[in-house]
Structure 1
Amino acid sequence: MTKAKETSREPADQSAGWVTFDPNLKILDCTVRDGGLCNNHQFEDGFFKRVYDTCVAGGIDYMEVGYKADKKLFAGTGCGPWKYTDEEDLRREVGDNDSEMKLSVMADTGRTNPADILPKSESVIDLIRVATYIHQIPAALKIVKDAKQKGYEVALNLMAVSTVPDYELDNGLEVISSVEEIDFLYVVDSFGSLYYEQIGDLIERYKKTGKTLGIHAHNNQQLAYANTIYAAITGVKLLDTTMMGMGRGAGNCPTELMVGFLKNPKFNIRPILKFVQDTMHPLSQKIDWGYSIPYMITGHYNEHPRSAIALRDSDRKDDYLGFYDEIAAI
C-alpha cells in the first residue's frame, strides 16, 4: 500500500518541480522604477544601493533602475534622480556593474527624448523597455529602433490593454510581429483588472508575434502573484516583481514571493528577506502602497488607479463606500 502511494505521487512532484525550476524563467525587479512612483523617486540616500546589492545577492536577473524621462517635460517637478537615470548617477551607485545581473531602464513613449539614451558602449544599462499605449505604437517603434541600433536589448510594454478593443490590439500585434528589433514583448495589466483567463488569452495572442514574452502585473485584486505564476506556467519568460510589492497604487507581484516559488538554486531568498525586514517594512509605514479597498474598486471597474491614489492621499482615505458610489456612478 505504501509503495503504491509513493508511485502515484511521483509524476505530480516531478511536474511541479520542473515548472518552477525552468532555467529560462527570469526575474526583473523594478522596485526603484515602479516603487519610485509612490514617492516621486525621492528615496533616502543608500536605498538604491541596498536594492542593487540585494538583487545581486538574491540572484535576480534584471534590475530596473528608473526612467529615461525628458528633463524638458519634467523640469522643476521635484523628482528624484531615478526619474531621469543619468549615467553619472547610475555609475556612482553600481560602478561598472561587475555582476551577472543586467540593468534596465524604462522609456515612456512621448515622455522620453531618445537623445538622452547613450550608445550601449557608453552605458552600464543593458535593456531599454519602451512603454507605449496602443495608439502610440508608431512613435514607440522609433525609440525601439533607436535603442536597438545603439546596441541595447529592447522590450516593448503595451500599456492599458484591458481597455483596447480586440481588433485594435490584433492590428497592433501584427505590426509588432514584423519588428525584428523587439527582443521582448510584455503583457501588462496596468489597472490590475485582469483575471487569469484574460491573461491567458493575451498570452496566446502575443505568442503569435514570435517574441519572447514578459509580464507586469498590478495587485488591485490581489492577483499579481497568481497571474504572474500563471504566465510563467504558460510560457512567459520575464517576470516583473518588486520588493514587498512596492509600486504605484496597489503595487506589484512581490519579489520575495516569486523567488520562493521558483526553485532554481540560482536564487537566494535570505538576502531578500533581510532587505524586506530591514528596509521595506519600515518604509511601508511611511509610504502608502499595496492592496486596499479603493484599489480593488478601480480594478473591478477597469479604471486607472489615479482616483484611488488621490483618495488614499486625502483625509477620507478609508471612505470605501463613498468612493465605491463615486466610481460606480461614472
Structure 2
Amino acid sequence: MRDIHVLDVSLRDGSHSMKHAFTEQQVRNIASGLERANIEYFEVAHGDGLGGSSLQYGLSAVDELKLIEAAVEECTNAKVAVLLIPGIGIKDDLKEAVKAGAKMARIATHVTEADIGAQHIAMSRELGLKTVGFLMMAHMAPTDVIVKQAQLFESYGAEIVYVTDSAGNMLPHQVTERIRALKENVGIEIGFHAHNNLSLAMANSLAAIEAGATYIDGSLRALGAGSGNTQTEVLVAVLQRLGIQTGVDLYNIIDVANKMVAPILPRPQEISGSSLIMGYAGVYSSFLLHTEKAARQFGVDEREILIELGERKTVGGQEDLIYEVAQQLMLAK
C-alpha cells in the first residue's frame, strides 16, 4: 500500500547534469538499485525527453532507447517512465519507447499549452501506458489558468496531472494554492515535480502532499537540472517519519544513492550562485549548463544572462536565446 507514489527522475532529469552522457552500465546499476528499493516508477530518457538528442539540446552519448531497454532488463517490478515534449519528441518516439519496455508516458507542455499534447495523451492511452499530463514552468501561470489546463489534460485522457516547478521558483504557499485548486477541480490524481534552486524542493513537495498530491518526483542525490530535485532518499525518510507509506525501502534507496549515483556526480548538486539566480528569476532549470558555457564564450556574468532570460519569460526550447542574450550583454559593455 502506497499513500504517496515516489517517482524517481535521476535517469532523465539527471541527464542534464550528466550532459546526456549516461552509460548503459550506469543505467543498469541505478535501475537495479531502484528495483531493490521497491520504487514503483522511474524515468529514463534524454533530459529533454524522447527525441531530445540534438545539437540544440545536447547529443546523447548512448541512444536513449538502448538505455530504456537496459533499465527494463534490470527490473521485475519497477516500471520505466518516459517524458515526451511535443515538438521535440513525436508519436513514433513514443511507440519505440513502448517497444523498449516503457510503461508510463509523461506528456510535458508549457503550463499554458496543454492542447498541444492532446494527440500524444490519446496515443499513450491507446498504447496501454499509464498516462500523465505534465504542466511545466507552473510558476508562470495563475492558479485559474493551471486548473483549466489540467482539465484539458483530463479531458484528453490523462490519468495524472502534474504541477511542475521547472525553474525552482515557487514558494510553498503557491504550491499549496495550485495543488488544492486542482484537487477541488479535477477528478484524476495530482503530482508535483520540484527543483531545488531556492532550497525549497522538500518544503514544496511536502506542501503539495498536504494539499492533496499523491505523486511526488525526486532524484537520487538530487541529480537533476539546476540544483536538482527533491532528493529521493531524503524524501522517503521524511515521509517515513511522518507515517506516510511510500512502499520504498529506506536502506536500499540510500544505498543506490550513495553507491551508484554519488560516484558519478559530475559536480556537487549544491545551490550555486547561478542556480540560485535561476530560481530567483524563474528560468528553466536545464538552461544552467548552457548559460555557464555562453558566459565563458562571451566573457559576461552568467547571472546577468539569467536575469535577462527571466525578464524575457523564456521557456524550454528557447536555448538559442541564451547565446543571443550573452552576445548582447558583451556588446553592451
Normalised by the shorter chain, which TM-score bucket? 0.7 to 0.9
Structure 2 unaligned blocks of 5 or more: 312-333
Are 2:131 and 2:159, in contact at CA under 8 Å, matched by a contact in 1?
yes
Is 2:171 the partner of 1:195?
yes
- Which residue does the alignment assign to 2:318? none
Counterpart code for 2:78? M
- 1:231-260 residue CA offsets vs partner (Å, 9 max, x unmatched): 122221111011100001111001110111
Are 1:30 and 1:241, in contact at CA under 8 Å, matched by a contact in 2?
yes
* Shift in Å, 1:113: 1.4
- Which residue does the alignment assign to 1:273? 254
**How is 1:101-140 mapped onto 2 (pairs within 5 angstroms)?**
101-118=78-95, 122-140=99-117
Is 2:225 the partner of 1:255?
no
Are 1:105 and 1:128, in contact at CA under 8 Å, matched by a contact in 2?
yes
Are 1:39 and 1:287, in contact at CA under 8 Å, matched by a contact in 2?
no
- Report SS of the residue matched to 1:253: coil
- Which residue does the alignment assign to 2:331? none
Comparing 46-55 and 225-234, the one that deviates more = 225-234
* Shift in Å, 1:227: 0.9
Comparing 150-159 and 119-128, the one that deviates more = 119-128
* Shift in Å, 1:117: 2.2
Are 2:190 and 2:213, in contact at CA under 8 Å, matched by a contact in 1?
yes
Is 2:44 the partner of 1:44?
no
- 1:147-200 residue CA offsets vs partner (Å, 9 max, x unmatched): 101111100100112112455434423433433x11100011111010110001
Is 2:260 the partner of 1:282?
no
Structure 2 distance, partners of 1:261, 1:156, is 27
Is 2:246 the partner of 1:302?
no
Structure 1 unaligned blocks of 5 or more: 1-21
- Which residue does the alignment assign to 2:320? none
| Gap change, CA 1:144 and 1:281, over 3 Å in 2 | same
- Which residue does the alignment assign to 1:142? 119
* Shift in Å, 1:225: 1.1
Q: 1:90 aligns with which of 63, 68, 73?
A: 68
Are 1:28 and 1:62, in contact at CA under 8 Å, matched by a contact in 2?
yes
| Gap change, CA 1:306 and 1:233, over 3 Å in 2 | closer
Are 1:200 and 1:231, in contact at CA under 8 Å, matched by a contact in 2?
yes
Counterpart code for 2:166? S
| Gap change, CA 1:121 and 1:93, over 3 Å in 2 | closer
- Which residue does the alignment assign to 1:183? 159
Are 1:32 and 1:41, in contact at CA under 8 Å, matched by a contact in 2?
no
- Report SS of the residue matched to 1:251: coil
| Gap change, CA 1:278 and 1:100, over 3 Å in 2 | closer
Counterpart code for 1:212? E
Structure 2 distance, partners of 1:122, 1:78, is 22
Count of residue pairs brought into register by the alignment: 301
Q: 1:66 aligns with which of 35, 45, 60?
A: 45
- Report SS of the residue matched to 2:13: helix
| Gap change, CA 1:108 and 1:326, over 3 Å in 2 | closer
Are 2:8 and 2:42, in contact at CA under 8 Å, matched by a contact in 1?
yes
* Shift in Å, 1:74: 6.2
CA RMSD of aligned residues (A): 3.1
Structure 2 distance, partners of 1:146, 1:136, is 18
Structure 1 distance, partners of 2:67, 2:304, is 45
Structure 2 distance, partners of 1:71, 1:221, is 27
Are 2:112 and 2:145, in contact at CA under 8 Å, matched by a contact in 1?
no
- Report SS of the residue matched to 1:37: helix
Q: 2:180 aligns with which of 190, 201, 204?
A: 204
Structure 1 distance, partners of 2:174, 2:218, is 20
